[in-house]
Amino acid sequence: MEEQRIGVYVCQCGTNIAKVVNCEEVVRALSEQPGVVVAKTYKYMCSNPGQEMIIADIQEHGLDRIVVAACSPRMHEPTFRKAIQTAGLNPYFVEMANIREQCSWVHDDPQVATDKARALTFGALHRVAKHEPLERMSVEMCPDVLVIGGGVCGMTAALELADGGNHVYLVEREGTLGGNVARVDLTAPYLDSARDLITALVTRVEEHKRIDVLVHSQVSSLEGFVGNFTATVETIWGDGASVSQFRVGNVVVATGYKEFDASRVVHYGYGKLPNVITSFEFEKMLRAGRIQTKEGKIPQYVAIIHCVGSRSKEFHTYCSRVCCMTALKYAHEVKSAIPNCYVSDVYIDMHAFGKGHEDFYKRGSEAKTLFLMYAKNDHPVIRKAGPGDDCEMLIEVNEKLSGEQIEIPADLVILMVGMEAREDSDAVARLVNISRDKDGWFIESHPKLDPVATTTDGIYIAGVCAAPKDIPDTVAQARAAAGRILAKTIRGSIEIDAVFAEIDEDKCSGCRVCNALCPYSAITYDASKKKSTVISAVCKACGACVAACPSGAIKARHFTDSQIFAQIEGVLT
């Protein structure tokens, strides 16, 4: 091999690195190494002048490999790859040594930090010498989209995508579209009709020429990778079933939630006391237009209890986010239907964080509702009233603000049941290859910066299936997911990172040790050839299979044995 010409750049990161690491000393040590043509230190390597310095040096000194000792490659590897590419080098000919997070930020002793920075930079130097030029791949992007779940979320995403020109397959398990909102009467906080909202959406979806609606249907398999998935959908008709298959480039998961099972909270007597009902049962009453007890009487006392199954140690620790406003909505609806009814609202905290919610709360508290606060994990207790009482039930509350034990009458108790991940969320997660958190909600790629994407390219999550939220937040996510997909499909193809695992067919013994290992399901086994292959577009280069393959058939590009050994040797010199 021709003698390599390597440039080494040690960043001071303002004083972030330089205050602990002696950057000049690192430069001095590196400049004496064979192959190093240029070694410099600079205040901010990632700044424009920093990058331009590298570019100018590449051109002036004919450098062909670059080492940047600076921050984490997670931060600026793309920056430096782009810079050296501008100068005409293959973008993979740069290696970073992390002397900030791994040195100056974690060590106080300047000598120790400097020694370590030098060792890490030596490692990068030895490694970069072994780098191979890599080319990014481009794969075709099928514009069609699969949307799983036909609630507000799925319908909104489907419409946005179809309006944008993409064909959408909308798969809904139930016989009708609408999801949980279709079970609601008025929506908080503006008291618009849920029925109108859903009807408008359903009509547009069903009439849209670019949306295929498949009700009574479920996705039974999803194979392939971003841009090139094949979905298989099973549809159950009255007397039979049919299977359809189609190609899609991206998937939106919008499977929503189910309500918490109120009978799990035993001291509320749900299922035993006939007039203890859930919010959804109350919505049904509202939609039917008559608020009444099981016995058909108009209730004189209505009590609403918040956080049923939510914000509790025993059940779910999270807040379900919509129950507080829904409870206020009920207080309002009861009052307007039965003006002389006494409504009490038993809550832990009033969560009114959304747009218009605080005003709604204010209006609710003016409407002569009795608000009682109870402490988390100190539930009210409901019991049947005695013959002398003028009500059906009595609720005992340790009222937190007054510090008193208060007993309130009730003819009808509404339990504000929280939201819960669906029973089959695990199966759905496996189907599309994404993960769930401890509560069963799907996990996003980044909780703050990348909320609707997942760690599997081409799979998006939106609406409540990712965590409890109200309709406006659901709609925003649905449109965000659709927007992400539209932006990706408009180009017709996508670039795939050049770093992935490859299987050398000649060396693969077909032992199948790697087959069940890939967290992204990137490995397939060809039974006729008796060999395994990695689908490079799916592989995330995690390295699990590379380490496992006992016959050394799997190589991770950019993380080859010789590169890693060279790096270790460099660190140890």
Partner 1 sequence: MADKKLQIALYWGAACGGCDVAVLDTNEFILDVAAVADIRLWPIAADGKYKDIEAMADGELDLAIFNGGVRNSENEHIAHLLRQKSKLLVAFGSCAYMGGIPGLANLTSREKILETAYRRNPSIEWGNRVVPQPETKLNGKELEIPKFYRRVYKLDQVVDVDYYIPGCPPQPDRVRETLLAIVKGELPPKGSVVGAFDHALCEDCPRTKNEKKVKKFYRPWEIKADPDTCLLEQGVLCCGVATRSGCGVRCPTSGIPCRGCYGPPPGVTDQGAKLASAVASIVDSKDPNEIEEILAGLPDFTSFAYRYGVAASLLQRSYRQ
When binding is defined by CB under 6 A, the residue of 26, 45, 428, 501 that contacts ligand SF4 is 501
Window of 3-11, 44-52, 298-306, 467-475 that interacts with ligand FAD by CB under 6 A: 467-475
Window of 204-212, 354-362, 448-456, 542-550 that interacts with partner 1 by CB under 8 A: 542-550
Q: Which is nearer to ligand FAD, 95 or 259 (CB)?
A: 259
510 binds partner 1, rule: CB under 8 A: yes
x/- track of binding to ligand FAD for residues 175-194 (CB under 6 A): ----xxx--x--xx------
When binding is defined by CB under 8 A, the residue of 199, 336, 377, 551 that contacts partner 1 is 551
CB of 256 to ligand FAD, least distance (A): 2
> In the 8-state DSSP scheme, what is residue 181?
G
433 binds ligand FAD, rule: CB under 6 A: no
Partner in contact with 516, chosen from ligand FAD, ligand SF4, partner 1, none, beta carbon below 5 to 8 Å by kind = partner 1
257 binds ligand FAD, rule: CB under 6 A: yes
510 binds ligand SF4, rule: CB under 6 A: yes
Query: Helix or strand or coil: residue 218?
Result: strand
225 binds ligand FAD, rule: CB under 6 A: no
546 binds ligand SF4, rule: CB under 6 A: yes
Rounded distance, CA 196 to CA 219, Å?
29
Q: Which is nearer to ligand SF4, 227 or 451 (CB)?
A: 227
333 binds ligand FAD, rule: CB under 6 A: no
If you search the block for the tokens 């602990």, which residue do you land on?
20
CB 182 within 8 Å of CB 227: no
When binding is defined by CB under 8 A, the residue of 547, 569, 572, 573 that contacts partner 1 is 547
Residue 174 Cα to chain centre, angstroms: 25
Q: Which is nearer to ligand FAD, 21 or 231 (CB)?
A: 231
Rounded distance, CA 419 to CA 261, Å?
9
Beta-strand pair 217-225/211-214: unpaired
Who's near 64: CB < 8 A, 6+ residues apart?
4, 5, 6, 58, 89, 93
When binding is defined by CB under 6 A, the residue of 523, 537, 566, 571 that contacts ligand SF4 is 523
507 binds partner 1, rule: CB under 8 A: yes
When binding is defined by CB under 6 A, the residue of 98, 228, 275, 326 that contacts ligand FAD is 326
532 binds ligand SF4, rule: CB under 6 A: yes
514 binds ligand SF4, rule: CB under 6 A: yes
Whose CA is closest to 148, among 172, 180, 118, 117? Answer: 172
Q: In what order do the strands lie in the sheet with 36-42?
A: 36-42, 6-11, 65-70, 94-98
Window of 64-72, 300-308, 356-364, 462-470 that interacts with ligand FAD by CB under 6 A: 462-470
CB of 242 to ligand FAD, least distance (A): 16
Beta bridge partners of 533: 524
Rounded distance, CA 134 to CA 145, Å?
31
DSSP-assigned letters across all residues of 35-104? TEEEEEEES-TTSHHHHHHHHHHHHHHT--EEEEEES-HHHHHHHHHHHHHHTTS-GGGEEEEE-IIIII
Indicate the residue type of 286.
L
CB of 412 to ligand SF4, least distance (A): 55
Who's near 517: CB < 8 A, 6+ residues apart?
523, 544, 545, 548
When binding is defined by CB under 6 A, the residue of 35, 110, 440, 543 that contacts ligand SF4 is 543
When binding is defined by CB under 8 A, the residue of 106, 548, 572, 573 that contacts partner 1 is 548
What are the φ and ψ backbone dihedral angles of 88, each rounded to 5 degrees?
Answer: 95, 5
Who's near 515: CB < 8 A, 6+ residues apart?
523, 525, 532
Report the length, in residues, of the chain: 573
464 binds ligand FAD, rule: CB under 6 A: yes
CB of 525 to partner 1, least distance (A): 8
When binding is defined by CB under 6 A, the residue of 193, 509, 562, 573 that contacts ligand SF4 is 509
If you search the block for the tokens 């008025």, which residue do you land on?
186
CB 505 within 8 Å of CB 554: no
Which residues contact ligand FAD by CB under 6 A? 148-154, 171-174, 179-181, 184, 187-188, 218, 254-257, 259, 279-280, 283, 322, 326, 329, 419, 422, 424, 428, 463-464, 469-471, 474
Which residues make up the interface to partner 1 (CB under 8 A)? 506-517, 525, 530, 544, 547-553, 561
